[in-house]
């Protein structure tokens, strides 16, 4: 699948101009990155990259839009980051269960994490069908 289909979806959607421009900027930027980078893109990465160009509230909406269109370019995931430990990517099934229930069991201890959104962060990846 080509990114042009996603860009066409964005163009034909009735989006606010700032949101449409943000989606275009992100999509065109992603075309320039290499495959390994495209598999782990934390939300903070986008905030740093586009901090001068895109308002943060528009940015998160653009990322959601690029994850939800018919030809969605991005997939949203979650990773667990507690303390100085390396990020631990959550299985998609576990992440979506967290989204539905608000509960997360620590994968190592098996105990329920009291405030999971304090240690779970979003990251994005470009969908496999867009990778060459």
Number of domains present in the structure of the chain = 1
Identify which of 94, 64, 59 has the alpha carbon closest to the alpha carbon of residue 79.
94
Q: Give CB contacts under 8 A, 24+ apart, made by 92-97.
A: 95/120
Q: Which domain holds residue 87?
A: 1-132
Task: Report yes or no on whether pTM surpasses 0.75.
Answer: yes
Cβ neighbour number for residue 63 with a 10 Å cutoff: 22
Measure the CA–CA gap between 54 and 25, rounded to whole angstroms. 9
pLDDT tens digits along 109-118: 899 999 999 9
Q: Which pLDDT value is given to residue 132?
A: 62
pLDDT in tens, the chain (132 residues): 578 888 888 888 889 999 999 999 999 999 888 888 899 999 999 999 999 999 999 999 999 999 987 778 999 999 998 777 788 899 999 999 999 999 999 888 899 999 999 999 999 999 988 876
Q: Are 59 and 67 in contact (CB under 8 A)?
A: no
Q: Which pLDDT value is given to residue 44?
A: 92
Q: Are 59 and 50 in contact (CB under 8 A)?
A: yes
Token reading at 31: 């075309």
């Amino acid at each position: 699948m080509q990114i042009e289909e996603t860009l066409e979806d964005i163009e034909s959607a009735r989006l606010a101009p700032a949101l449409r421009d943000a989606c275009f900027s992100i999509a065109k930027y992603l075309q320039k990155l290499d495959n390994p980078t495209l598999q782990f893109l934390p939300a903070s990465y986008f905030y740093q990259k586009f901090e001068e160009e895109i308002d943060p509230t528009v940015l998160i909406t653009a990322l959601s839009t690029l994850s939800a269109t018919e030809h969605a370019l991005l997939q949203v995931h979650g990773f667990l980051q507690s303390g100085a430990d390396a990020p631990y990517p959550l299985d998609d099934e576990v992440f979506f269960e967290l989204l539905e229930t608000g509960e997360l069991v620590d994968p190592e201890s098996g105990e329920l994490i009291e405030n999971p959104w304090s240690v779970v962060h979003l990251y994005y990846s470009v969908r496999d069908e867009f990778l060459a």
